[in-house]
Amino acid sequence: MLKIHQLNRLIDIFSHAKFEEIWMVSVFTKLGRVISNIGTERFAEALHSLFVTSVNVGSTKIAVWFINEREEEIVGMHPLGEFSADGRSDIDVGLLQKSVFDAVDSRLMERVLIARELHLIHFGTSATPQTEWQRLRSCGSDGGFQVHLVSRKLNRRYLISLYRTCGTPDYTIQEMSLLKSYAEALMPIVEIHASHRLCELARRPMQVSGDAESSIGHLTVRRKFESRLRSAAITLSDREIEVCAGLLSGSTFRELADELGVKSSTIETYIKRAATKLGFKGRHGLVKWALSES
C-alpha cells in the first residue's frame, strides 16, 4: 500500500517538473496508472508509458537483485517486468534462470554492488571502440545508451533500467537529472511492486518438467535456506528445515504431508515451531525472512 507521505512526495516531484500544462495532465494520469497497477503484469508497461511522456526511452526493465554483503557478490536476480516500444511486454516473475546472470553486463554488476542509497548508472553503447559492422551486429533492443536507476534496501538492490535503441542520441545531463528526481519518488513504488510479485511467486507451485528437475530445484532452495540459518546462527530440526524449504519451493501443506508420509496437521506443527524460532508469521513471513539480510 502506498503511504500518504509517499504519494505527496510523488505529487511534489512531478509538479516541479517543467512540463506544459497539457503535459502535466498526461503525466498525472499515467502516474495514477502506475500506482493502480502495482503488483500486476501491467506495471512495467505503465511505468514505461510514464517515462516516455518526458524522456525518449526504447524499453524499460524492472528487477530486484539480492546481495551477499559479506562476500560482496550477487546471489540472485529476480526480473519483475519489462516493456518496450516494439510491443514486448512483461516477463514472468518466475524466470529465475542462470541466463538472467549471463545477460547482465559485468560493468553493471560492479556498479550495482557498490551503489549506496539512490544511484544513477549511465552507460554508452560500448565500453570499447567498434567498427560499424560490429556496432550493427551488437545492436539489439538493449544495444543503445542505458540509464539504470538503483535504490538500496538492506541486502537488496531495486533497478529500473531504461534503454535507448541504437542510433538514438545519448541521454542529456538534463534528462538524467530529471530521471534521478523521478527515481526518488518511483523507487518506493517499485519496492512495493517487488514485494507483491515475490509473494505471488511464493504462492505458485513450482513449474518443472520432471521429478529430477523438481528435486534439484528443491535442493537448491534448501541449501540457500540452510545458509541463511547459519548466517543468523539459528538451529532448526531436519524436519523443520525440510518443511520450510518445501514451502519456499512452492509446495502446499498437503503435498508436503504426502511426500513426508505424515498428516497435514503435523506439517503445520513443524512450520509453527520454525516460525517461533525465526520470528515470522505465515508463508509470506517465511519468504521475507529467507530473503532478508541476517
Q: Which residue has the higher pLDDT, 137 or 87?
A: 87
Cα–Cα distance, 66 to 68 (Å, whole number): 7
Mean pLDDT of 167-172: 89
> Which backbone phi and psi does 251 adopt, to 5 degrees?
-75, 155
pLDDT of 45 reads 93
The DSSP letter of residue 232 is T
Q: What is the DSSP letter of 91?
A: P
Domains of the chain listed by start with CATH number: 4-194 (3.30.450.80), 205-291 (1.10.10.10)
Q: Which of 75, 76, 45, 61 is nearest to 150 (CA)?
A: 61
Question: Highest mean pLDDT: which of 7-11, 49-53, 102-106, 290-294?
Answer: 49-53
Q: Is the pLDDT of residue 172 over 90?
A: yes
**Bigger pLDDT: 19 vs 174:** 174
pTM greater than the 0.75 cutoff: no
* Other beta carbons less than 10 A from residue 108's beta carbon: 17
Query: Given the C-alpha cell 504519494, which residue does it identify?
Result: 7
Top-confidence residue, 58 or 11? 58
Per-residue pLDDT, 75: 75
pLDDT at 22: 45
Cell matching residue 65 = 537483485
Q: Any idea what the Cα angle at residue 77 is, between residues 72 and 81, rounded to 5°?
A: 145
Lowest-pLDDT range of 48-62, 117-131, 226-240, 258-272: 117-131
